[in-house]
Structure 1
Amino acid sequence: MAQPHVVIVGAGFAGFHAARRLSRVARGRADVTLVNPTDYFLYLPLLPEVTGGVLDPRHVAVPLTAALPGVRLVLGEVDELDVTGRRVGYRDPTGRRDGLRYDRLVLAAGSVNKLLPIPGVADHAHGFRGIPEALYLRDHLIRQLELADAADDPGERAARCTFVVVGAGYTGTEVAAQGQLFTEELARRHPRLADVPIRWLLLDTADTVLPGMQPRLSATAGRVLRDRGVEVDLGVSVQEATATGVRLTDGRTLATHSLIWCVGVRPDPLVEATGLPVDHGRLKVDEYLAVPGHPEILACGDAAAVPDPQHPGRATPMTAQHAVRQGRLAADNIAASYGTGRRRPYRHRDLGFVVDLGGWQAAAAPLHVPLSGALARAVTRGYHLAALPAGRARVAADWLLTALGSRPAVGLGLVPGPAVPLETGAPETLHA
């Protein structure tokens, strides 16, 4: 008899760790197939360092076939779910449609950029969710300073050297921190820009940087950025964006060609397309990660509203920590349904947070012990090395080389703007 077939949709933190755990605990008891648009798992927390010229993008991309022995990889984007027929439909890189039957399904489709209805943002802002976007933004920063150097008009030079980041959460704070260091280093290579200020603005409607974190860590991050010259404007956002500037909600108008959108994420559109019950855009699941009425379907990570046992009535936040644990639990509960182990509800203990501020600066709270400065930096890098599934030596080597030398400053132009649309937060990777 054929073995049961487990299909996992998505290879983000939840899907990757579900597949990795299943490749061990369900070996010999089930066939496992992973469907994902790319052939790698992206370690998203280090992406700002790719834009900042610190890390080679290949070193934060873990090849799925090497990391998941025994798991079949299918390149494609799932956009259809037939619950009755237990089948998912997908489009492969050539545009061909196909499908897979399943006995158990793990929906871990992740999230995309959250796009607010602000005039001009969809057309003129740069998102930040994947390697193509990080590479595009890195080239964009290099290009702006080169164009500023070539310009004779003071207004144009100032606009090219002004960078606006919207969203002071983890991503926006780290992008502003890494980007500011990168552009300051680039500017030193352009003597004609010696008298031109390199302006970075970090905007958020919240009243603090890193809202939701411990006040001491938020204060540390805000202080580090301000000490470097980043203009942290809280209670402010963008009211309108154009190709040459932005109008802010406080009435100011800024001339800029660089609007970087980091306001948050929303569940992948596949979630609503399933027709299954949702809670604030995320799939409803029970404490075992199963969709009510469909025990054969489990959901985890950003796509799932997993009940938070520490905060009754609320779902767990959309963080990598939760996604990793939920992915592993989904695998364990599927294995239990085939006779290996026992089914367990989702429980977690918060391990704290780390935020990389570039240079020798970071803000960290391992096990809720607040740290800053070089010690926080060491904890942050140690955490990332421990969490990386592969490529630790390469990442450590990149860090060392950057500390000893300078960041490469060549704009390769490999990713054109139309390939990284803000509306989906996903590149057009599916066209061969």
Structure 2
Amino acid sequence: MPRVVVVGAGFAGHRTARTLSRLLARERVEIVLLNPTDYFLYLPLLPQVSAGVLEPRRVTVSLVHTLPRVRLVLGEATDVDLSQRRVHYTDPEGGPGELAYDRLVLAVGSVNKLLPVPGVSEHAHGFRGLPEALFLRDHITRQTELAASAGEAGECAARCTFVVVGAGYTGTEVAAQGKLFTDALHSQMARPRPPQSTAWRSPDTRPRWLLLDIAPRVLPGLDPRLSRTADRVLRGRGVEIRTRTSVKEATPEGVWLDNGEFVATRTLVWCVGVRPDPLVADLGLPVDRGRLCVTPRLDVPGHPEVFACGDAAAVPDLTRPRSGNGDGGFELTPMTAQHATRQGDVAARNVAASLGHGTARAYRHHDLGFAVDLGGVQAAANPLGVPLSGPLAGAVTRGYHLAAMPGNRVRVAADWLLDTALPRQAVQLGLVHPWSVPLDTASPELARFPGAPPTE
């Protein structure tokens, strides 16, 4: 029986496995999905988890329930032996394992992008997974509560200051959702208190959010109309947007900006982007900016049994020819969930075609627009190129997310409804410790299996 191994259960890997199980439902083909967790994480709603809108399990979709004809193997891929056609992995308890394959789909995704900024790896926190969102939710709550009892105005102001670096899709949503969250916590904490707590009621100690980016505008990779809408909403909410600005150094007491300004803070959220998982660069195959080179049919040149899609693959965008270099090539598809999902469909069809079921085809993208949730009823969206803002954009954005999620739709909608009627719960769960969410999610073993204690 042929075996197809899919590595990674992000947007690309989950869609690949799901489409394969449907296309090959009547065939004698074994489909195996290798992933460190037993869930698919719906990343676009992660900022709502950190802001207390959604409970953590709402954005995690069971792989077993949504992929009934796929065998799940829990583990983190560590190496691929192309000559022997075997994937080596480490299971959640640290034991070694391997999987033989007839067809391989690499959809290992991406990790945090690091820059050589002193102190960032020690004092900043990324935002790529559920542990980071849970930690940030607890951290924001803790800083707000500590600020309420601080006896010194400077300490109180530092704990009430939150800095987000990177005004892309993730950073913009984290700042937008986070400002609403801290404002809600502030209103709960700022009730009349004894005289010794008057520092909290000072105007200088209201929650302060800064959004930094070296780009000239927020959401630099999206339509300028979306950027203008997001900028207007964030500024109206009180978020300080600093474009053409970045962090020069991070310290335990705050951050130095590249303009010489020091911002006292206990919170630095690193959302400067992502880079492909280093696994693909270690295969010894051609890569382009860390992404595995593939043909428009998503197979690897010289290895027709290997396919790649999503953030880990350098997929040529046949709708965007390169200009100015005369080589006749194409731009690469951006590292977005929309591309990853559709590439998963194409990869599955082409894997099935390589096994004699159907016809292979090239990946060709047709943009349906983007949606950015700005918290509350606010959003910026351009479905099918039509620019929207305000409550209408908010409704379209949430409708899109419900349609795109492969599960948990009712639970997500219920949490949204409850959030409009009830105050958010300002409690710390204490489930995630700082050492279990290192910024460099690519190399430390504890980043792959966050239950492990730190090592010297």
TM-score normalised by the chain length of structure 1:
0.98
The aligned counterpart of 1:371 is 388
The whole-number CA distance in structure 2 between the counterparts of 1:422 and 1:214 is: 29
The aligned counterpart of 1:298 is 307
CA contact (8 A) 2:186 2:206 kept: no
Distance 1:308 1:386, change over 3 A: same
The 3-state SS of whatever aligns with 1:346 is: coil
The whole-number CA distance in structure 1 between the counterparts of 2:227 and 2:126 is: 23
Aligned counterpart for 1:258 among listed residues 267, 292, 297: 267
CA contact (8 A) 1:142 1:411 kept: yes
1:224 aligned to 2:233?
yes
- C-alpha distance after superposition, 1:27-57 (max 9, x if no partner): 2231000000111000000000000100011
Distance 1:430 1:47, change over 3 A: closer
The aligned counterpart of 2:295 is 286
The 3-state SS of whatever aligns with 2:316 is: coil
CA contact (8 A) 2:160 2:265 kept: yes
The 3-state SS of whatever aligns with 1:69 is: coil
- C-alpha distance after superposition, 1:77-114 (max 9, x if no partner): 00101000000100001111110100000000000000
CA contact (8 A) 1:132 1:427 kept: no
The whole-number CA distance in structure 2 between the counterparts of 1:176 and 1:29 is: 49
1:37 aligned to 2:57?
no
Correspondence list, 1:10-409, <5 A: 10-27=8-25, 28-191=27-190, 192=197, 193-195=200-202, 196-312=205-321, 313-409=330-426
Letter in 1 for 2:343: Q
CA contact (8 A) 1:37 1:430 kept: no
Letter in 2 for 1:194: R
Q: 1:427 Cα deviation (Å)? A: 3.4
The whole-number CA distance in structure 2 between the counterparts of 1:176 and 1:217 is: 16
Q: 1:142 Cα deviation (Å)? A: 0.1
Q: 1:269 Cα deviation (Å)? A: 1.2
The 3-state SS of whatever aligns with 2:424 is: coil
- C-alpha distance after superposition, 1:306-338 (max 9, x if no partner): 000111221100000100010111111111122
Q: 1:430 Cα deviation (Å)? A: 6.6
Letter in 1 for 2:233: V
The aligned counterpart of 2:194 is none
The whole-number CA distance in structure 2 between the counterparts of 1:80 and 1:109 is: 12
The whole-number CA distance in structure 2 between the counterparts of 1:52 and 1:124 is: 21
Q: 1:339 Cα deviation (Å)? A: 2.2
The whole-number CA distance in structure 2 between the counterparts of 1:395 and 1:13 is: 18
Letter in 1 for 2:43: L
The whole-number CA distance in structure 1 between the counterparts of 2:249 and 2:404 is: 39
CA contact (8 A) 1:76 1:430 kept: no
Letter in 1 for 2:345: R
Letter in 1 for 2:144: L
Kindly tell me the number of residue pairs found equivalent between the two proteins: 430
Higher relative contact order (CA 8 A, sep 6+): 1
CA contact (8 A) 2:164 2:268 kept: yes
The whole-number CA distance in structure 2 between the counterparts of 1:18 and 1:259 is: 35
Letter in 2 for 1:332: R
TM-score normalised by the chain length of structure 2:
0.93
Letter in 2 for 1:66: H
Q: 1:428 Cα deviation (Å)? A: 4.1
The whole-number CA distance in structure 2 between the counterparts of 1:357 and 1:70 is: 37
The whole-number CA distance in structure 2 between the counterparts of 1:289 and 1:10 is: 16
The 3-state SS of whatever aligns with 2:318 is: coil
- C-alpha distance after superposition, 1:186-238 (max 9, x if no partner): 01111243322210000000000100211111011001000111000000000
CA contact (8 A) 1:79 1:273 kept: no
Q: 1:356 Cα deviation (Å)? A: 0.2
The 3-state SS of whatever aligns with 1:409 is: coil
CA contact (8 A) 2:436 2:451 kept: no
CA contact (8 A) 2:255 2:265 kept: yes
The whole-number CA distance in structure 2 between the counterparts of 1:99 and 1:430 is: 22
Identity of aligned residues (%): 64
The 3-state SS of whatever aligns with 1:176 is: helix
CA contact (8 A) 2:19 2:345 kept: yes
- Segments ≥4 residues shifted beyond 6 Å: none
The 3-state SS of whatever aligns with 2:61 is: strand
Q: Which moved more, 1:339-348 or 1:227-236?
A: 339-348
CA contact (8 A) 1:126 1:261 kept: yes
CA contact (8 A) 1:44 1:130 kept: yes
The 3-state SS of whatever aligns with 1:236 is: coil
Q: Runs of 5+ in structure 1 lacking a partner?
A: none
The 3-state SS of whatever aligns with 1:310 is: strand
Q: 1:368 Cα deviation (Å)? A: 0.9
- C-alpha distance after superposition, 1:375-410 (max 9, x if no partner): 000000000000010010000000000011111111
The 3-state SS of whatever aligns with 1:6 is: strand
The whole-number CA distance in structure 2 between the counterparts of 1:119 and 1:54 is: 33
CA contact (8 A) 1:188 1:194 kept: no
Letter in 2 for 1:268: D
CA contact (8 A) 1:107 1:298 kept: yes
- C-alpha distance after superposition, 1:353-388 (max 9, x if no partner): 000000110000001100000000000000000001
The whole-number CA distance in structure 1 between the counterparts of 2:65 and 2:21 is: 12
Q: 1:431 Cα deviation (Å)? A: 5.4
